[in-house]
Every structure is written in C-alpha cells, then in structure tokens.
A and B are shown apart, each in its own frame.
Chain A
Amino acid sequence: MKLYFPKRRLIHFLFIFPILLSFVATFLDASKVPIKFDSFHGYTGTVNYLKAVAQAYPNLTELMEIGKSTLGKPIYVLVITNMKTGIALDTLIPLRHSRNEVKNVPPMKRHQGKPGQWICGATHGNEFTGTEVCLYIIDKLLTGYENDSEIRRLLDEKVFYICPIVNPDGVYNSVEAGMFQRSNVMLRDDDGDGRVNEDGPDDLNRDGYITQFRYKDPKGDYVIDDVDSRLMIRLQPGEKTDKQRYSVIQEDLDNDKDGQRGEDPVNGIDLNRNFPEGWFRADGFPGGQGDYPTSAPEVQALAEFFTNYRNILMAQFFHTSGGFTYRPMGSSPDTAVHRKDVAVYDFILGKKYLEIIGEPVPEPWQNPEEMEKFKTALRGRTRNRYALDRGYEFPRGWRVSYNENDDRPYGYGLQADWIYRQYGAYSVTTELWNPLRDLPDFPEIREDAPRIEIQRALLRYQDEKYGGQLFLPWKKFSHPELGEGEIGGWIPIYSGNNAYPGEPLLNVCEKHWQFELFRAKLLPEVVINDVKTKILYLSDNPSSAQVDLKENQAIIKKGQPKERFIVLEIKVIIENKGQLPTHVARGANLPLNREDVVWLLGDRDKIKYLVGSVWQRLGVLEGQMKIPVPPSQIETGQETSQAPRASQPFLPVQPRLRPEIQAVEAQTVKVLSPSSREVTWVIAIEGETPIKVVVTSQKGGTKVKDISF
C-alpha cells in the first residue's frame, strides 16, 4: 500500500493558515471563533471549539489534555491567560551540583505564577448546561481581552482553567448518542454473566433518541394525563383507577436474552461521589462510589491536575439543575468550614450570587456585625443547630447540601468538598437552570407545585416557543418482546434538567459569567510595592586579609586586592492588593500548600547574607477586603457521629525550618498590616552582581523586581 502524504499542500497550508487567521481576525473584531447557543455542543462540538480557539488565540490560551475517559476520550482544560505574562519561579533560581541521574521535576509554566480560577462543567454527563456556560465564559474572556480593559487586566494578572467537560463519555452518550447518562462509562459486568455492558438501552425506532415506550398493561402504574394526553401520570403505590393502565419504560430490548432489559448498560459511577473527601463512612466502610476514591479515570485526571496546579483559589463545578448554589460542605456539617471561610462564602460570594439571580439577601448577611442579634431572634424558631450557631438559615439560592435538620450527609466523596477541604480553594457547585425562573414569559408556578402541573406548562411552552420540537409525539411501535405500544416523550436533552437552547440558555450563561467574573476579581494579587536600599558600607579598593591572633595581640596581613565590597541594607514592602487572602482559612496548613515566600537573589558567589536568609516566609497575606468573621459556639472541626470520617483533620504542617531560622525571620519580616509585610536584608556584595527580589505566593502569584543601588 502506498501512503499518500500531501507534503506540498501541507507546506502551503502552514504558510497560508496564519496569514488567513490574522486576516480573519482583523475583520471579525468581535470573535475569531464565533459561537452560538441555539443548540448544545456536546462532546464533539465542544472539543472542536476548544481546538479552534486554542489555534486562534495562541497568546491567550493553552489547551491541555489532563487525562482520558474510560473510553479514551481526552479531558481538556483550556488555560486562558496572557501567556506572555507570569513568572516561572524555577527559571529564576539556578541550581548547582544537583544529582543528575534523576529528572523527575517538570519545568514550571508561567501561568502557575498567577492566581487561578477553575471552572468546569458536566461532571454528570446529562448536565451539559455547565458545558455551555463554560464555552460562553471562554468566548467572553477571549473577545473581552481585545475590547475590555478590565478583562485585559484580569487575563494579564490571573489565569482561568476551564474544563467544559469532566465526563466526556457521559456527555457524548447524552448529547450525541441520544441517551441520558449522568454517570461515566465503566467496563463492568453489572449482572455477573461474564459479559461487559452487553445489555443497555436501545433506540428501537432508530430516530437517534432513547425516549419512552408505553404499552397497555393491567399491572402498569401509569395512566394518561386528562389535561394533556401526551403526558403520563405515575400512580401512587396501591392507588386505584378506572382508566387504562400503562407501563412506561425506556426504549430497550433484552439484548442478551436473559429475561431482563437494560441490566448491564455502559453506565459506571457517579463521578461526584468518587472524590477523596468524606468517601469513607464513619465505620471505615466505603460510602462513596467506585472501588476507591479517585478510581474513575475522570476523577483521577482532576485530582492529578489540582495536585500539580496549586495556584487555584476559586473553583466552580457546574451542575444542573435548580437555579441555586451549593457551597461546601455536603459530607460534613458546617462546623467543618472555618468561620472565616463561612464569612467569605456567605456574606461575600453568596450575597452577590443572590443579587445576580434576583433573590433577596438575608438580613444577617447584610449586617454580619450584628449576628448575635440574629442568633437570638432565631432561637426557638428552628431545630437546625447549625443555623442557630451561624445566626441564619440558608436562603433557597445559596446553601449547603448537608442535611442540617436531620444531621445527615448529602453524599460521600463530593468534589467541591474535596477542593475546599483538601486543596484549599473557595469551591462551589452551582446547580444551573430552573425553568420556573429562567424561562422568559413562563407562567407563574410555585416551586412546590405538583410535578405534572410543571410538566403541562413546559409542554405548552415548547409547543408555543419551540414549535413542539422538544417533545416527540407518541407513535405506534411494535416491541418484539412486549408487543404493541407507542414510542414518544421528551427528547432526552430537553427533558428538564438542562436550559432550553437559545434565549433561556443565554440568560443562564450571562448570569453565571457575571458571577464568575465577580469571583475572579476577588482573587489575591501579591505585589512588590516598594524597595528601599541603603549602602551601609562601600569599599573601592578592598583586599583579602589574614588575621593572626595570639593572646591579646592580632596581626593583620593584607593580601591580594579584591573587587568592590558593599554592605547593603534592602527593605522590601510586599502587599496583597487583591481582595481575598492568599489562602482559605487553613489553606497554608494543607499538605502541598505553603506560605507566601520572598527570595533575594543574585550571584551566590558574590553575596553573603548577613541579616535575613535567601528566602523568607511571609505567612499568609490577607486581602484588602474586610471579612466579618462571626463567632461560633460549636467548636470548629467538631463532627457528628453520622458524618463520614473527616479524611483531613487539618493538622498543622510541621515547619521544616530549624528554630533559629524561624527566630531570624521573626526579626526580618515585619507585619505592617494583615495584607502587607516589610522584609529586611543586609547583604555583603563582593564585586558586581544584579540583585532581584522575587515574591512567590502559591495562590497570590509570583512577582519579580530588579534592585538597583
């Protein structure tokens, strides 16, 4: 076989393509890669878009493959930042005499020296509204860089890590394959017959969707709705009826002829129950899903990414639906969240979120200083002891998923819990989309209205606004195993928990872009504010010397002339001029995290550090924003018996520094204010060497400044 390789064409293409791109870019000032939200992108569309923007914006993006799904589909993270700014710390500090038999440390990336924000969607395959919001945010950031000075500044100083699809197989099966799959795919023999995934649902009428099959069945527990005959009403157990009874199942066949339908589908596990925090139950047995925490390749990809990118302080895990946000924790009571973080979450982030979605902000959040008053007012009005301790119950739009009234975990092994408690970022899970609130011109229906009432309204809505395209009318079908019946129902992707494409989806996107933008602007930003140098001593014709000390007589012999000798005092003021601190409340104590650090660097053969060492620790720099921390009666970290075992006990990290070095730092690092430090060195320089100060904060960024004197 002869291989055809279009060499010449490729070269042409390579030459022409960039020219073509810049040409297109000049004329399409809005976006080099236009995007529309009148349909769902699915896995294929999303990947195509990511590749296109990565190619169109090489200076603003990096497309990373952070892992692969069970079926081998890449999981992508699009890094968005000005690729020309940011400092890789390892390039500034030369190493000497290192062992060279092992090279296990990859070079750092420049964006690792910037404060980061993580945004991801579709951890659950059927919750791809989050994917669309991610794509919307990508578009806003990239187009905004050109024409919005605020976004330009944001991308110069900060970095976004956007992972539109955490669960590629689930999204592909939900959007492209017409199924509706929350979990990932696992190659697992569910029914123990020795075969793997041999009996899943089947597209009986080959219309590209797995919808419903209904058939008359005297034992069925469905009847046709009187109001809208397209809808099926499920009877209560034991409920009697005179109407024709139906059974309703997924479109499905007994593929392996074992008498059961759909008993070994491709479905794997719920990825949002496979993270390490609170995966085990209190008795030591597994509570979460999967064989062990991070057993799913998709979850491990995330875990590995966060392990290597420690610069993220804000994290969003988009899910659907409900139109509200869960802040941690779900597996442990609110006592697992430090009071200071509670304040950031509720009074700062939660307040803004409620404003964006148009819901009232609780009074205590507006006056947290008067929390004792609200606590007193709440006494006797609730049995929720965590609410009594905080001073407020959660509003509908911003809450924890932990069941506070019954003191029961919502689930085990949740991703947002894990990021907050084991990584140290302000993570949230926003449940996007609430049709009752997000559909324009939708009739007023209460949240707790019967399901059928909402279904009727939605069906009417799609009749009017979408020409009935979201629901497949029932059509006769003869099921090879069950006989005559009908196939029809909601098209899975429109069946309720995803925003309807077009205007409703755009509304959801815009609100949550606003929320993420607000959060990004809160990120810390550590800067070198001021450098003062003072020459304490200067000698232009020094020489080497030898001292001969005998009894009380010293004889000094001068030797070879040496280079210029300076004793220099350096005072550097470092400040976090961002809004939030450089770590969550206990973030610096978490393994793999560290305090903010400042280095003074020059040619090490020419510098002697007389006061202050090469690098000094600054502690955690607070931000400019005042965080009103209310007191708590319940001891922080106290767990209830029903809560899963806290896998992270928040033990302080043992400082590796020798005590005498810590003592020195106490003198050379002066706390000017919670957000700023003055660091002093006295160094002796022999000869000429450039000197620079490098401040490096894990989540507050790395900055460098040359010192002249």
Chain B
Amino acid sequence: MIKMKRLNMKKGMNETLLKNIFSGLLILCLLLPLAGQKKYQSSPGGYHGELDFPISWKRYYSYAEWTKIMHDMAKQYSQLADIQSIGKSRMGRDMFLLTISNKSSGKPDDKPAMWVDGAIHGNEVNGITCSLYLAWYLLTRYDYDPYVHDLVNRYTFYILPGFNVDANDSYVTWPNTSNNPRKPYRPEDDDGDGLYDEDQTEDVDGDGELSMMYIEDPKGDFKLSSDGRRFVRVTEPNDPSRRFRFLGPEGFDNDGDGRINEDDIGGPDPNRNFPADWNLQQGNPYPLSEPETRNVYEFWLRHPNILASFHYHNTGRLIMFAPPPRIQTSLTPEQRQQRQQQFQQRLAELKQTNKYAQLFDIEVPAEYQEDLRVQTEIVTMGARILKNYRPTPSGRVGQAQAASYEMFGRYAYLIELWGTPDFDADENGDGRVSDEEFLKWIDIELTGEGWINPHKVRHPDYGEIWIGGTAKKHITRTPPARYMEEEALRNTHFVLYCVSQFPRVEIDEIKITPATSNLFWIDVTVKNERAYPTSSDRSIQLGKAIKDKLIFNCSSNITLIELPAALSAIDLTDRTTFVPIAKGKEVEFRLKGHDSLIYRYLIKIDGEEGWVEVKVISKNGGKDSKRLNIKAG
C-alpha cells in the first residue's frame, strides 16, 4: 500500500508540473505558495487518490473490521484524522469516532463541525458504510480535490460509523433477519413472564441465514408458489394445494412456554431514548439510559462547535429534517382545503423551474422562519443530489436528530437509506416491485444471490417444519453489497454540500461618502452568502446563540462620532433606502443565510491621511476584516 502511494504521488507531481510549464509562469507563481497541493485535479477524469487507501465498498464489515479500517485511516492520514473512543457500549465495545479536519489549519474542536453517525439501530448497518465512505472520501481526496481540501481545512467532521455497536456487530456477524437485533443490549422482559431476553431468534437450520418458519397444516393460510420458491397466501377456499401455517422467524422455544421469539434481545429503541420530547412509553427506562446514547450526547455537550448533524437509518429513501416547532392552528375543513390548494399551487409553480423543489405545509412561529427556510433550501438540494429520495419533516419523540435540533439548535437530518429496488426491478413500470419482479431482480441483477428456497427441517419443538421463502439478510433493509457504493457516494456529496453551506461571514465592501466638511459616512457591508445562518433560530430561542460582531477601528486622527442607533437614509435624495447606524465601535447581529447587512458610521477626519478598519467575528461563520486607507488628493 505504501509503495502504491509513493508511485501515485510521483505521477501526480509529474502531471502537475507538466501542466504548470505549459500554463505559463503566472499560474506557476499562483500555485507555488500552495505547496503540497500539487495533486489537484482540474478535470473529473483524473486520479483522485482512491488507491492511496484501497478498500472494498462491495461488502459489509464486522466491528473488528470497520474499527481496524478507522484505525488505519487515522494512522495513514495522521495530519487529517484522529481516532478516539467516546465511551463503551453495554457489552464493553469501544465506540470509535473519527475526527477529520486539517489539524495544521486550527484545532478541530474549534472549527465549525458536522456530526455524522452511522447506525443507531443495530440492523441498519448500511449507515456504517455510508459514514465510513464519507471519511474515506474526505481523506483520500484531500490532496486531489480542491473542494474537499477546502472543506477539510475549514471545518471538522465527527464521524461515528457504528453507534449501536453491540447490535451492529451482531447483525453483520451472526444469522439475523433484516429487522433484528435493533436495540441496545439492555435486558428487557418483553412478554411480561418475569424473565429477560430469554426467547430470541435462532438459526434453526444452521445455514447462516435467519428466515421464516412454516409448518404443514391443512387449515393453514399459505401454500407454495408455483415455482416452489415462495410461500403465498391461499386465496381460493377450495384450493387443493398442500397448506402451511406461518410460525414466525426461525427460532426455538427457549423457555418452553409454547411461544417462539417472544422476548428478543434488547431494551428500548435507542432513537426514542434522547431527551427531546421524550416519553417513558417509548424511551424507557429514562432519558439517555443506554451507554451508547449517553456517550454520544455527552460528546455533543462537550463539542459546541457542531453546527449540523446527520443520522443514518434505513429504509425508504427519505431526507428527514428535524422540524421547527409548529403552530397548532384550528382550521375549518374549508379553510384547510383552501390552504392545501394554495400550497399545492405554490409548489407546482416552483416545480416548473426545478423539479426537485420542496415546500412544506407546516406553519411555524415567526421566530423560527429562518430555520424552516434554510431547511427547505437544503433538502431541496438533497433531493437533487440523492435523486429518488423524498424530503420530509422528521418525527420528534426522543429521537437523536430532534435532540440535536431542539436541545442544541443544530440543523439535523435523518437519512433513511435504501428502499425497494424499483429502479432496477420494476419491469412493468407501475412504480412498484411485485414479488415476481423482486425474485427476477434477485436472479438477474443479483445473479441468483440472496434467496432462501423453502426447505424441510426438523425442529426440536415443532417436529417437521419448512424454512425459507424469504430474501437473505442484505437484500431488503441493507442493500446487496454491490449497490452500496453509489448510494454512499451520493450521500457523501449531500453531507459535503451541507458543510459547504456552513455560514461564512465576509466584509463585502467599505464605502466612504462625504457628509459635510471633514465628516464622512462609512458604510460597511457584511454578508453571508451561504445557506445556513450564523446561528439557528432554535439556538437563539435556547439562549445558546453567540451573536456576530462587527468591530470598528481607525487611525488616531479619525474620530468616530457617536450617534444613536437608528436608521439613516443612505442617500438624502432617496427616502426609501435606509441603513442602520452602528452605535459605538462594536455592533452585534445575526446574519441569516444569503444575507447581507449594511452598518453606517460617521467619522471625522483630521489631517491628510488615515485609515479605518472593520473586523467581523462570528463563532460559526469565521472572521474577516477590511481596511480602507484614506488620503487627501
């Protein structure tokens, strides 16, 4: 691997050098200060570092494997990546987190940051792939891709591929259905018999897959399909076929109570265990009761630099955003219908120019308008980048993304990865995938991998039963491995897009206009061209927002005339445009997304020359300053 890296470095350097010679001296001069960035590619056809850290994206990884990959990344890209354990899971596994940021351009914990977690639900391990892919993409492309380079220099990515590590590892390593194990390993008495987690699923036939069990029963509702590959429901009452009764997922009656799998492993849903809008029924036993959720939340508390967060789930191809609080309106059915119509009309208008356009029929209070606006903008782009994903407001009850937004004021997204393979399997174009189309997809696109045919098995509790007629593990909720990389790539692009829209404050211009004799107006324009505001509406409501600051400075011969904070006409002949007068040397404000503000100062200049300097400081939007030298001509 090391050999490979050197080779490529050389190649990259040669290419750049050649190009520089042909491009002329000027470009060379511009590029020289950027030492170490010679591998930049100017065309998408070039090499972008993929083989610097070779890894297969066409398989799933166990806990031991994915954490080794993370350690290897941190080792190979030590200037960009750190690995740490944020705590241990219930079963004592370390929850490893990658911090990715260029360490030489500032402390990662001081930079505005994006949080990404992979699989809070044990079985949703394609989220591990997506977040791991993001880390790999950032690290390998850093030297080759100016877009990635800039984001990694400016911002920090906290990436936790495995969240519910015990269940994640079990899902990958052991036979399981696509739905379990899902929860953290807190013992719980699901069936109320007094025992805890005592009757779980088991791989009865020992084939390494967990399928469904059926038993022959003349009164059963099922029969074998004509091709013998599925169990299908009997529709004709007099159907003479051999009948089957559905027993459930593979498993034994462990406690001998006549029921199977009625007390599967695990306690509460971890994504109901966060404090925001928590309730006991769904989030028991208490908020952040699980070591996994608590470790994450404590990390969030220690890292106020996190601005936004991504949380991967499956399935359904959804871009869910944590919504601002809604106003409960009581509308009459007519009013509701009218509102609905207006809404549909506005959306249709928007879709005429952008088919990905989004609009959400939710009413939020005035103080949360900016949050709704930016989320609408972001998920509109998400719909474009992720293609067949549908944006929608997320749920709240005890959910991680809701806590990220409601408790910290961060913009938070829950991504439901994967879904039905309609893009490949829908033959008749009805937008759905029938059972037959699904099987054909497995035969053709998956070249026969992924199906368990019904077969007879001896069961210690039931005698002779049948097992099968279902897809294997990585088919329905977690995609077949060959489908993972493109989805991971698109999702990485969406995360990067969001980070590229983190606020960036700039001083656009300083204008000077004469007022009278030696008095002059200085008009300073500050702006944030990005989509996200410098602080969210929610963080303001929580009292956690830190305002942006504009600081005025000038040479000693210039005096700032203190005026009351008020609006001033920018042009005395135009009484329609006003700008606020900055009161004193420091003013505070918040820049929204795509926002600019003008502040006006009145100065008195004594002497022939001088300077004014303005500096803007924003906790989340960075810093900028500009100086204006003034000279009598």
Contacts and interface: CB of A to CB of B under 8 A. Distances in A.
A416 to B, nearest CB: 15
Contact of B280 (A98, A647, A702): A647
A604 interface: yes
Q: Which one of B185, B256, B325 has the highest number of Cβ atoms from chain A below 10 Å of its Cβ?
A: B256
A595 B202 contact: no
B195 A93 contact: yes
A101 B254 contact: no
A98 B190 contact: no
Contact of A613 (B173, B196, B258): B258
Interface in B223-277: 252-258, 262, 265, 275-277
B254 A95 contact: yes
Given A294-B286, A656-B262, A96 B277 contact: no
Contact of B170 (A89, A94, A101, A657): A101
**Chain B interface secondary structure, helix, strand, loop or mixed?**
loop
B143 interface: no
Interface string B530-556: 000000000001100000000000000
Interface residues of B, number: 53
Interface in A179-213: none
Contacts of B289: 294, 303-304, 307
A613 B257 contact: yes
Contacts of B288: 292, 294-295
A422 interface: yes
Contacts of A90: 195-196, 198
B197 A648 contact: no
Contact of B281 (A285, A295, A591, A604): A591
Contact of A594 (B194, B200, B202): B194
Q: Which one of B194, B258, B460 has the highest number of Cβ atoms from chain A below 10 Å of its Cβ?
A: B194
B258 A592 contact: no
Given A97-B460, A609-B258, A656 B278 contact: no
B278 A647 contact: yes
B193 A615 contact: yes
A291 B198 CA distance: 36
Contacts of A617: 192
A97 B202 contact: yes
Interface residues of A, number: 52
Contact of A648 (B253, B275, B279): B279
Interface string A599-619: 100001000010001110100
A497 interface: no
Interface string A638-669: 00000000011101010111000000000000
Nearest to B542: A285
A104 interface: yes
A99 interface: yes
A8 to B, nearest CB: 38
A105 interface: yes
Contact of A96 (B173, B256, B265, B281): B256
A610 to B, nearest CB: 12
B192 A594 contact: yes
Interface in A582-635: 590-592, 594-595, 597, 599, 604, 609, 613-615, 617
A3 interface: no
Nearest to A307: B285
Interface string B165-205: 01000100110000000000111111111111110111000
Q: Which one of A303, A613, A656 has the highest number of Cβ atoms from chain B below 10 Å of its Cβ?
A: A656
B287 A292 contact: yes
Interface in B296-337: 297, 301, 325
Contacts of B201: 99
A651 B281 contact: yes
A102 B91 contact: yes
B420 interface: no
Contacts of A106: 187
A696 interface: yes
Contacts of B197: 104-105
A497 to B, nearest CB: 29
**Chain A interface secondary structure, helix, strand, loop or mixed?**
loop
Contacts of B194: 89, 594, 597, 599, 615, 696, 698, 702
A116 interface: no
B279 A649 contact: yes
B287 A101 contact: no
Contact of A284 (B193, B265, B406): B406
A592 B252 contact: no
B284 interface: yes
Contacts of A303: 285-286, 289
Contact of A291 (B173, B257, B301): B301
B626 interface: no
A435 interface: no
A614 B257 contact: yes
A293 interface: yes
A276 B256 contact: no
A238 B198 CA distance: 70
Nearest to B285: A307
A99 B256 CA distance: 15
Contacts of B542: 285
A527 B256 CA distance: 24
Contact of B252 (A97, A284, A647, A656): A97
Contacts of A648: 279-281
B275 A101 contact: no
A592 B193 contact: no
Nearest to A98: B254
A353 B100 CA distance: 61
Contact of B285 (A94, A95, A591, A649): A591
Given A303-B286, A647-B279, A649-B281, A104 B257 contact: no
B252 A96 contact: yes
B90 interface: yes
B252 A294 contact: no
A698 B195 CA distance: 11
A613 B174 CA distance: 32
B410 to A, nearest CB: 15
A96 B459 CA distance: 13
Given A292-B287, A594-B192, A656-B190, A102 B170 contact: yes
Contacts of A304: 289
Given A96-B256, A303-B286, A597-B194, A592 B277 contact: no
Q: Which one of B189, B254, B258, B280 has the highest number of Cβ atoms from chain A below 10 Å of its Cβ?
A: B280
Contact of A102 (B185, B301, B325): B185
A594 B277 contact: no
B452 interface: no
Given A105-B187, A595-B192, A276 B286 contact: yes
B170 A104 contact: no
B385 interface: no
Contacts of A594: 189, 192-194
A423 to B, nearest CB: 9
B190 A96 contact: no
B407 interface: yes
Interface string A265-298: 0000000000010001000110000011111000
Interface in B453-504: 460
Contact of B196 (A99, A105, A599, A655): A105
Given A96-B254, A98-B200, A594-B194, 6 more contacts: A284-B277, A295-B288, A307-B286, A614-B258, A647-B279, A655-B192
Question: Which 3 A-B residue pairings sit nearest by Cβ, starting from the closest?
Answer: A594-B192, A97-B252, A591-B284
Interface of A: 89-90, 93-99, 101-102, 104-106, 276, 280, 284-285, 291-295, 303-304, 306-307, 422, 590-592, 594-595, 597, 599, 604, 609, 613-615, 617, 647-649, 651, 653, 655-657, 696, 698, 702
18 contacts: A90-B198, A93-B195, A98-B202, A99-B265, A101-B174, A102-B265, A104-B186, A105-B196, A284-B406, A292-B297, A294-B288, A295-B288, A307-B289, A595-B192, A599-B194, A648-B281, A649-B279, A656-B191
